[in-house]
Chains A and B, each alone.
Chain A
Amino acid sequence: MALLIKNVRAIDPSCDLDEVVDIVIQDGIIKEVGQNLSIEKGVTEDYSGKIALPGFFDMHVHFRDPGQEYKEDIKTGSQAAVAGGFTGVATMPNTKPTTDTAELVSYQYEKAKELGICKVYPLGAITNGLKGEHLAEMGSMYNAGALGFTDDGHGVQNGGMERTAMEYSRQFDALIISHCEDEGIVGKGVMNESPISDHLGLTGWPTLGEEIQIERDIELAKITGARLHIAHITTAKGVEMVKKAKAEGVQVSCEVCPHHLLLNEELIDSKYPVNLKMNPPLRSKEDMLKLQEYFIKGDIDCLVTDHAPHAEHEKNIHFEDAPFGIIGLETSFALIHTNFVVNGKMSYQDLVERMSIAPRRLLHTEPVQIKAGSKGDLTIIDPDKKWTFENKDIYSKSKNTPFKGYEFIGKVSDTIVDGYHSYQDFKLAK
C-alpha cells in the first residue's frame, strides 16, 4: 500500500530538511521525498499548511500493563501516545509483576505489535521487583528487546548495587536510566521542601534528595564507563552537574517533563491540588525558569512525559495519600509548541531534536528520518490550530492531568506509524 503526502512542510534537522515537499511511503518505508511526486496506486492526501516531523518518541511512560489495566493498558496507552504524535514510546518496568524478566518484555512487545498502533519498547528493571537488592536478568531482557534498564519510581539506594548494574550493563552497552531519589533524605516527602510545604503541613521532598543521587551516579558512570541517563530532572543544579560531566567526557544525558518546565510549586495551595503531585515534585519557580533555559539550549537532551495514569478513585483523595504522577502524552507537544515554539524561543529543529532524535539515539533504536529508506514514522501537526484541552481529548483510561482547560496553539493532526495512520485528521484511526 502506498501513501502520498502532498504539499507538506517537512522539517528534519538530521538531514537538513526544511521545505514544502511531497512524501511517498510504501510498505512502511519512505520511498521518496521531493517535488511533484505521484503514485500509481494508493492514497493521496493533501497536507497544505501542515508540518511533517520525524515521529515523536517518548522514552518515559507508564502503561501499567500487565497488572493495573484499570489505569491503562497497552492499547489505551498507545492510543494516547499517537494522539499526542508519538510513534514510539519506552515503557517503564514498574508493572505488576515488575518487568524484570524476558517474558514480560516479550509480552509487551508482542501485544503492542499485534495492536500496531504505536511502537512500544519495554524497559527492564535493574533489580528484581525494583527492590534494589538483586540484579535482574539484564542479559535475557536485553535479548528480548529491552534497550535500557531502570528502577524508575525508586532510586537504587545502595551505591554498590548501582555500580554493579552499571558495570554489568556495559556488555550490552544498554542505557541505565536513574530515577534519582535518596530515600533517607526524601523520606515521606510529597511536595518540594520549601516555605510552601511548611505552610501547608506537607512533608518536604528536598532538591537535595535528587541531586545527591545524580552526583553519585555521575561518579559511578565515570568509573564504570556505563551510559547513564538521568530521568525526569527537576533542578538547575542537577542539570549543571550533568552538563559538567558531559564536558569531562562522561556518557551522561538527561530528560525533562513538560510539567517541570511549565509548572512550579507555587501552584500548590490550600486547595491541595492532587494533580500537581508528582515524583519528583514540582520545584521552585527559579528552578523551573532555569530548566526552560537549559531545555531550549539543549543542555537537557530530551523531553519525556512520565505519563503516569491513575484512576480517579485513587488520585482524588487526600494529597498526602494520593499516588504520584499525571498523564502527559496528549498534551506534551502542544505545551512545548505553545510555550516555546510559537513565540520563537525554540525552533522546530530543536523540538525535533528533543522529541524525536535524541531519545532514539540514547536508546539505540533505529533513527527515524524524513528521507528515502527510513521507516515511515511521521508526526504531522497543524501549527496554527487553537484548541482547549478537555476530557474529550484524553485517550488514556485515566484523566489525572492538571492541564484541563489550558489553551493551546498547534495540534497533532496525523500520526503515521510504519506507513499507516494510527491517528488521522485529529481522530484515532486505530
Chain B
Amino acid sequence: MLSVKHLTDTNELTKDDFYQILDTAKAFEEINSRPIKKVPALKGKTIVNMFLENSTRTRSSFEIAEKRLSADTLNFSSSGSAVKKGESFEDTARTLSAYKIDMVVIRDSHAGAPELLKNYTDAVIMNAGDGKHQHPTQTLLDLYAIRAHFGKLEGLNIAIVGDCSHSRVVGSLVPAFKTLGIKTTLVGPRTFMPKFVDQMDVNYTSNIEEVLPEVDVVYLLRIQLERIDSTPIPSLEEYRDLYGITQERYDMLKENAIVCHPGPVNRGVEIDSELVYAPKSRIIDQVSAGLYVRMASMYLLLGGEVNGIAD
C-alpha cells in the first residue's frame, strides 16, 4: 500500500512509496518482455486522460500503460474540445467526473491543477505535469532507469543541468533525490536557477566541467525552444558553448557514469547530435521505464498489491 491516495507531488512520497513503485515496475518490465504484454490488472476500471496542455510523449506512455493494464480509457485534450470553446476547468472536471471514473491522469499548464481537480472528483488523480510545479511520473521513470544501471540509488551523485527554475521535472526530482539519499548539484547560469537556490538542499555551480568528473549521472534538461524569446539566456549557441555535452565534456565523465534527458532532445543544444545515443546515454531506457513506472503507479493506486501481479 502506498501512503498516498493520489500521485500528485513527490514531496508527499516516502522512501517506501518510491521503492514500492520501483519494485512493482520491475515486475511490469518482465511482463512487457513477453509476447503477450497485456494483463487484466485494471480490467473494468475507467481512466480519463485529461491533457489540457499539449503532450505527445507523456500521453503516449500513459495510454500504452493503460492499454497493457486492460483499463478502459477516454482521451480528453484541450484542442478541439469544450475547453477550447471556453468551458471552465470546473465544468470540464465535473462533467468527466459524472461518468463515475476511477482515475484521472491530468496534464495542465497551471501549477496546482491536480489539487484544484480534487475539489470536483472522487477519482484517483495522477499528475502528468502541472505548470512549473511537479511531474512525479517523470521522476519515477528517471529513478527506475538510474537504479537499473547502478543497482541502487542511495549515495549516488547527480548533476541536473539547465533551466531549473521553470522546470516541473526539477520540482519533482529534487525532493525525491533528497528522500532517497542522492546528492544533487544544479548546474547552469543563475538566470536558470530557482531564486533561492542557495537555501535549497542542493549544491549549485555554474561550471559544468567542475562536476562532470565527479557525478554518476548527468541529467540534462530541455531548453524550452517554444519559450526561447523569454528565456533568460542570450542564445542557444552560447548555451551549448557553456553547458552543452560535447564530445570533450562527454569524455570527462566517469567510466560508469550515465547521461539522462527527459526528452525531447534539442540536438546540438543540450547534447551534441552524435552523442544522443552514445553508450553512456540512457535516454531510450528512460522512455521504456516510463511505461513500467506508470503501469506500476496506476496499478498500486487503484488497489493492486506490490507482489500481486498475476502470472
Chain A interface (Cβ within 8 Å of chain B)?
Answer: 193-195, 197-204, 206, 270-272, 313, 316-321
B200 and A271 contacting across the interface, CB-CB below 8 Å? no
Given contacts A194-B196, A201-B171, contact A319 B90 (CB under 8 A): no
**Is the Cβ of B89 less than 8 Å from the Cβ of A200?**
no
CA distance A202 to B194 in the complex (A): 11
**Contacting A271 at CB < 8 Å: which of B88, B115, B133?**
B115
Q: B81-115: which residues lie under 8 A (CB-CB) from chain A?
A: 88-90, 108, 110-113, 115
B130 within 8 A of partner (CB): yes
Q: How far apart sit A316 and B133, CA to CA, in the bound complex (Å)?
A: 19
Q: Nearest Cβ in chain B — how far from A317, in angstroms?
A: 6
Q: Are B196 and A200 interface neighbours, CB within 8 A? A: no
Is A320's CB under 8 angstroms from B115's CB?
no
Residues of B within 8 A of A199 (CB): 171
Q: Is the CB of A317 within 8 A of B90?
A: yes
Known A313-B88, A320-B131: A198·B110 in contact at CB below 8 Å? no
**Which residues of chain B from 1 to 38 have any CB-CB distance to chain A below 8 Å in the complex?**
9, 11
Using a CB–CB distance below 8 Å, which chain B residues touch chain A? 9, 11, 88-90, 108, 110-113, 115-116, 130-134, 165, 168, 171, 194-197, 199-200
- Once A270-B9, A318-B116 are accepted as A-B contacts, the answer to whether A202 and B195 lie under 8 Å apart by CB is no
User: Chain A residues near B9 (CB, 8 Å)?
Assistant: 270
> Complex: how many Å from CA A199 to CA B11?
10
**A272–B165 CB distance below 8 A:** no
Partner of B110, one of A195, A197, A204, A320: A320
Whether B89 lies near A317 (C-beta < 8 A) is yes
**18 A-B pairs (CB sep. < 8 Å):** A193-B195, A194-B195, A194-B196, A195-B199, A198-B197, A198-B200, A201-B130, A202-B111, A202-B132, A270-B112, A272-B111, A272-B116, A313-B88, A317-B90, A318-B89, A320-B110, A320-B112, A320-B131
CA distance A203 to B196 in the complex (A): 13
Nearest CB of B to A186, in Å: 13
Which residues of the other chain, A, contact B134 by a CB distance below 8 angstroms? 201
Q: Which A residues are CB-close (under 8 A) to B11?
A: 270
Could you tell me the distance in whole angstroms from the C-beta of A273 to the nearest C-beta in chain B?
10
Taken together as a complex, chains A and B put the C-alpha atoms of A198 and B131 apart, in Å, by 12
* Bound Cα distance from A194 to B115, whole angstroms: 21
- Residues of chain B within 8 A of A197, CB atoms compared: 195
Which B residue sits closest to A193, measured CB to CB?
B195
Residues of B close to A321: CB separation below 8 A: 110
Q: Which residues of A contact B108 (CB under 8 A)?
A: 318
In whole angstroms, how far apart are the Cα atoms of A204 and B108 in the complex? Answer: 20
Instruction: Return chain A residues, CB-CB under 8 Å to B89.
Output: 317-318
Contacts of A195 in B (CB 8 A): 194, 196, 199-200
Assembled-state Cα–Cα distance A320/B110 (Å): 7
Contact A201 B132 (CB under 8 A): yes
Contact A318:B110 (CB < 8 A) given known A201-B132, A201-B134, A313-B88: yes
Given A200-B133, A201-B133, A316-B112 contact (CB < 8 Å): no
Nearest 6 interchain pairs by C-beta? A201-B133, A272-B112, A201-B132, A318-B110, A198-B194, A201-B111
Measured between C-beta atoms, what is the minimum distance from B127 to chain A in Å? 11
> In the bound complex, what is the Cα–Cα distance between A411 and B197 (angstroms)?
46
Given A195-B194, A201-B168, 6 more A-B residue pairs with CB atoms under 8 Å apart are: A194-B195, A197-B195, A198-B165, A198-B200, A272-B112, A317-B90
CB distance from B200 to the nearest CB of A (A): 7
Query: Would you call B88 and A317 a contact (CB within 8 A)?
Result: yes
**Per a CB cutoff under 8 Å, which of A313, A317, A320 touches B111?**
A320
Chain B residues in 8 Å Cβ range of A318: 89, 108, 110-113, 116
A314's closest neighbor in chain B, by CB?
A: B88
B195 in contact with A319 (CB, 8 Å): no
Residues of chain B lying within 8 A (CB to CB) of residue A203: 132
> What is the distance, in angstroms, from A406's C-beta to the closest C-beta of chain B?
22
Q: Given A318-B89, A318-B110, A319-B110, answer yes or no on A198-B115 (Cβ-Cβ < 8 Å).
A: no
A271 CA to B195 CA, complexed, in Å: 22
Q: Is the CB of B115 within 8 A of A270?
A: yes
A203 CA to B111 CA, complexed, in Å: 10
Residues in chain B near residue A206, CB distance under 8 A: 195
A271 / chain B contacts, CB cutoff of 8 Å: 112, 115
Q: How far is the CA of A198 from the CA of B111 in the complex (A)?
A: 11
Q: How many angstroms from the CA of A318 to the CA of B90 in the assembled complex? A: 10
A346 and B197 alpha carbons, distance in the complex (Å): 40
**Which residue of chain A has the shortest Cβ distance to B171 in the bound complex?**
A201
Listed residue (A270, A271, A313) with the most chain B CB atoms within 10 angstroms of its CB: A270
- B112 and A198 contact, CB distance less than 8 A: no
Cα of A194 to Cα of B200 in the assembled complex, Å: 11
Which of these, A198, A270, A272, contacts B195 with CB under 8 Å? A198
A316 (CB) vs chain B CBs: closest residue:
B90
CB distance from A183 to the nearest CB of B (A): 14
Nearest neighbor of B118 in chain A, beta-carbon distance: A271
Which residues on the A side are within 8 Å of B196 (C-beta)? 194-195, 198
- Residues from chain B with Cβ under 8 Å of A272 in the complex: 111-112, 115-116
CB distance from B227 to the nearest CB of A (A): 12
The complex places the Cα of A270 from the Cα of B171 at a distance, in Å, of 13
In angstroms, Cα B195 to Cα A320, docked, is 18
A373 CB → nearest B CB, Å: 55
What is the distance, in angstroms, from A267's C-beta to the closest C-beta of chain B?
15
Kindly list chain B residues whose C-beta atoms are within 8 Å of the C-beta of A270.
9, 11, 112, 115
- Nearest CB of A to B115, in Å: 6
Nearest chain B residue, comparing its CB with the CB of A320: B110
